[in-house]
Structure 1
Amino acid sequence: MRRVRVSSHQSPVHKLGDSQMKLTPKFRLATTSALPSSMPASDLEQASWETPLIPGLPDDAALNCLLRLPVETHEACRLVCRRWHHLLADKARFFMQRKVMGFRSPLLFTLAFHRCTGKIQWKVLDLNYLTWHTIPAMPCRDRACPRGFGCVAIPSDGTLLVCGGLVSDMDCPLHLVLKYDVYKNRWTVMTRMLAARSFFAGGVIDGRVYVAGGYSTDQFELNSAEVLDPVKGVWQPVASMGMNMASSDSAVISGRLYVTEGCAWPFFSSPRGQVYDPKIDRWEVMPVGMREGWTGLSVVIDKHLFVISEYERMKVKVYDPETDSWDSVKGPPMPERIMKPFSVSCLENKIVVVGRGLHVAIGHVKKQPGSHPDSRSSSYLIQWQDVDVPREFGDLTPSNSQILYA
């Protein structure tokens, strides 16, 4: 029997790929001689590309699987082989492949700023996996006021537009128009707006972006409005609003743009509101009950306007156009972690609220079981879901949030 000598000295354990791992000369010689000497280097490289993405599966089925990998796993998965690295190392290539395959995952884009430094940054929440991600920095001017921007999402194109804005120390509005392409993961500068404006209304109707009102130089309220054709990249004027007005919120319902200046304490006057119909290029006054009850930020679900009221303990209410009145939405109160200021967006039948510190609450809206399916005054119920947030977001304050699919 052969005796084996065991040493008490233990070699350090290294992870695969550790830079401290060294190959002995004998191992180098063995690995080199194991390769066919007649195979040129170009054939070896080609062979590595011809290996299947997943052994035992056709490449189309394997690609269907890999395109479902969460983004946070890409860094580890791209080490598997060259073909995985080619697909996963470039986010633009990955999301473009998802677009070709028809995959759609909702992403919540939140424009936030640091409450101490004022630094502007975008944070992205994957609403399927509830994981946070970052995108390239937005190329905007220093000392820009984040609340002055107008942000509009175009889900059909996978693009996000950031328009206008305000330079904080100069009180000067901007013509700025920036576009983020979720499939290419990059920002581009687009044609400027016809009028520099901040704190204005905006919305997308039939793929065209409409902006209206807002503040001009010296806080002068504008009555002008304009429309952008994203394909041609050209802004054109539309009918004026008929009154000079800045906007606190806006919504698109049944192909019409609703604009409100909102309520402000101590409520000396009734808030104003206008409604634009692009088919006839005309503005009309918003119904009295609608504009007086529009006391917060809104979303549109199933052609119904829902508002989270800032002056009624964050109560959710829904507008009834038949009676020109508002009804309370039943259900538990919003999670206490959601503090003002906040931003609101919607995903199908869900209301997504982002509060200070980027705390997120998702409200699942349902019609009451006894409601008639065709009734415009159906009652609604909401149930809230709390989403965990990284501690390092504690000093961030949301300014706007939009949802895109990628």
Structure 2
Amino acid sequence: MAPSFDDSTISFSRASTIATDTAAASKRRKLLRDHHLAMIPGLPDHIAQICLSRVPPSTLYSVCHSWRRFIYSATFPPFNSLYALSSTATTTTPSSHNSTVQLSSFDPISSQWSVVTPTPYLSLVCLRHQSFIARNLPIQSVSVAGNLVLLAGTSINLLPAFSHPLIFNPLSKTWSFGPALTTPRRWCVAGASRAAVFVASGMGSHYTQAVARSVEKWMFRETGSFDSKRKDPNRVWQNMGSLKDGRLCREAMDAVGCKGKLYMVNMKGPCGKEGVVYDVNSDGWSEMPAGMLDGWRGPAAAMDEETIYMVDESEGVLKRYDEAMEVWINVLEDDMLKEAEHIVAGGGRVCVVRSGGVGILVVDVVSPRPGLWVLDTPSGQEVLALHILPRMCPPEFQSAVVV
């Protein structure tokens, strides 16, 4: 006998399925209706966007989904985020095969780290090598016009890792190349002033006096990656006035850009050092003022190319330089600042990487009473460099706001 089914059960099952489908369709209609609701009732969206763009993004983020989507759209002025170049390497074995370079972005509105999609060219950089026991090989980078530019590093064969600058644009989330360096180098001076990028001294494939004294300049353009067919003279590296000697090739150094000048010292730490200043406009070199050099005892960075901040890594004091008086003025003292390794400044904040590359200290320097708080680094990462750049757009907010 064929199996029989209870008709009432079948009818109930069908009714339940219909009800479920109806509820799901209703929910979809509600979501679509909510998605197309006016950003501010009674106003066209393009007017509402003008109004909302004047509100701090931290306020908009917590109100509703449409406003949260708006602050990550191309229409909203991009706010600053913190970017960290870091390594997953361990220090147990000084091998060139146990380290990878990672770029991460910290969104201050959502308070979350996200990993930037890498480019295979980052794998060319060697951070640890058996020839350099207990020492990281440097990777040198600058930020210019809202872009991150990687300029110098060391390959596994102890050669320059980059023949062209490697550029990351956070707004488009794309990687591209700049024009070929006249002399690819490592262990050099790297800096930026306004829209100009500079490299100086260091070593090429091997040490030469000519490279140790040379200076190259590139005027950065935001028109995308380098096109070799273009004849624009500003889209190539230009040789500038040489250094009088090769004393700056001993370390990988940051040239701090401030008011049309680049400031740099030839050694890290509180020990005796030499300091030089490069005038971007006159293409001339001069000695660093005595008061500035005497107090320069740790990593330094410029806030909007107007004020230089420095951490005295032995005393644990954040200081700013007073150009008129030629002295360093204390801003904040805290033991956590001791042995600081990296620093970046922007948007009224100074961010400092703690000893060992783990933990980032954030100081509000525009407050009458500067405060300090600790930001955790990306999990399992050791920070190699910090940059402040425009925020990226999370995948869930990539669709444009309808205007």
Amino acid at match of 2:159: C
Unpaired runs of at least 5, structure 2: 1-13, 91-97, 128-136, 222-233, 392-403
8 Å CA contact 1:109–1:404 kept in 2: the answer is yes
2:306 to 293, 303, 306: 303
Q: String of CA shifts for 1:289-346, please: whole Å, max 9, x gaps.
A: 4334322111224834321122x2322233344554x445154415x3x675632111
**What secondary structure is seen at the aligned counterpart in 2 of 1:196?**
coil
8 Å CA contact 1:109–1:124 kept in 2: the answer is yes
1:171 to 133, 138, 158: 158
8 Å CA contact 1:164–1:176 kept in 2: the answer is no
Hey, what does 2:267 align to over in structure 1? Answer: 262
Normalising by structure 1, we get a TM-score of 0.68
Amino acid at match of 2:205: T
- The alpha-carbon distance between structure 1 residues 365 and 48, as it changes in their structure 2 partners (threshold 3 A), is closer
- The alpha-carbon distance between structure 1 residues 135 and 145, as it changes in their structure 2 partners (threshold 3 A), is same
8 Å CA contact 2:312–2:338 kept in 1: the answer is no
How far, CA to CA, are the matches of 1:33 and 1:120 in structure 2? 47
**What secondary structure is seen at the aligned counterpart in 2 of 1:329?**
strand
- The alpha-carbon distance between structure 1 residues 171 and 23, as it changes in their structure 2 partners (threshold 3 A), is farther
Query: 1:295-374 alignment to 2 at 5 Å?
Result: 295-301=297-303, 303-310=306-313, 312-322=314-324, 324=326, 326-334=327-335, 336=336, 340=339, 342-355=341-354, 356=356, 358-365=358-365
Cα drift, residue 209 of structure 1: 1.4
- The alpha-carbon distance between structure 1 residues 62 and 52, as it changes in their structure 2 partners (threshold 3 A), is farther
Hey, what does 1:222 align to over in structure 2? Answer: 212
Hey, what does 2:147 align to over in structure 1? Answer: 159
Amino acid at match of 1:60: H
How far, CA to CA, are the matches of 1:240 and 1:255 in structure 2? 18
How far, CA to CA, are the matches of 1:131 and 1:31 in structure 2? 35
Hey, what does 1:235 align to over in structure 2? Answer: 237
How far, CA to CA, are the matches of 2:341 and 2:308 in structure 1? 18
1:136 to 111, 117, 122: 117
- The alpha-carbon distance between structure 1 residues 29 and 163, as it changes in their structure 2 partners (threshold 3 A), is closer
Hey, what does 2:374 align to over in structure 1? Answer: 387
How far, CA to CA, are the matches of 1:53 and 1:214 in structure 2? 57
Number of aligned residue pairs: 332
* Alignment partner of 1:183 is 2:185: no
**What secondary structure is seen at the aligned counterpart in 2 of 1:222?**
helix
Normalising by structure 2, we get a TM-score of 0.69
* Alignment partner of 1:105 is 2:95: no
How far, CA to CA, are the matches of 2:321 and 2:338 in structure 1? 24
How far, CA to CA, are the matches of 1:404 and 1:163 in structure 2? 17
Q: String of CA shifts for 1:181-223, please: whole Å, max 9, x gaps.
A: 1111111122221111123223332312122222333456722
Cα drift, residue 166 of structure 1: 0.9
How far, CA to CA, are the matches of 1:96 and 1:358 in structure 2? 33
How far, CA to CA, are the matches of 1:107 and 1:366 in structure 2? 18
Hey, what does 1:271 align to over in structure 2? Answer: 273
**What secondary structure is seen at the aligned counterpart in 2 of 1:210?**
strand
8 Å CA contact 2:87–2:381 kept in 1: the answer is yes
8 Å CA contact 1:203–1:250 kept in 2: the answer is yes
8 Å CA contact 2:83–2:389 kept in 1: the answer is yes
**What secondary structure is seen at the aligned counterpart in 2 of 1:96?**
coil
Q: String of CA shifts for 1:345-398, please: whole Å, max 9, x gaps.
A: 11243211123454221122359xxxxxxxxxxxxx8633213426x62x3111
- The alpha-carbon distance between structure 1 residues 143 and 291, as it changes in their structure 2 partners (threshold 3 A), is same
Amino acid at match of 1:96: A
* Alignment partner of 1:123 is 2:104: yes
Unpaired runs of at least 5, structure 1: 1-21, 35-43, 79-83, 368-380
* Alignment partner of 1:58 is 2:57: no
**What secondary structure is seen at the aligned counterpart in 1 of 2:365?**
strand
**What secondary structure is seen at the aligned counterpart in 1 of 2:218?**
strand
- The alpha-carbon distance between structure 1 residues 363 and 341, as it changes in their structure 2 partners (threshold 3 A), is closer
How far, CA to CA, are the matches of 1:274 and 1:141 in structure 2? 31
How far, CA to CA, are the matches of 1:258 and 1:403 in structure 2? 19
Q: Answer with 220-229 or 158-167: which moved more.
A: 220-229
Cα drift, residue 105 of structure 1: 0.8
Hey, what does 1:250 align to over in structure 2? Answer: 255
8 Å CA contact 1:106–1:128 kept in 2: the answer is no
Hey, what does 1:199 align to over in structure 2? Answer: 187
8 Å CA contact 1:121–1:138 kept in 2: the answer is no
8 Å CA contact 2:317–2:333 kept in 1: the answer is no
Query: 1:285-304 alignment to 2 at 5 Å?
Result: 285-301=287-303, 303-304=306-307
How far, CA to CA, are the matches of 1:104 and 1:218 in structure 2? 42
8 Å CA contact 1:96–1:184 kept in 2: the answer is no
8 Å CA contact 1:223–1:241 kept in 2: the answer is yes
Query: 1:33-48 alignment to 2 at 5 Å?
Result: none
Q: String of CA shifts for 1:94-123, please: whole Å, max 9, x gaps.
A: 55333xxxx131111110111323111012
How far, CA to CA, are the matches of 1:236 and 1:23 in structure 2? 77
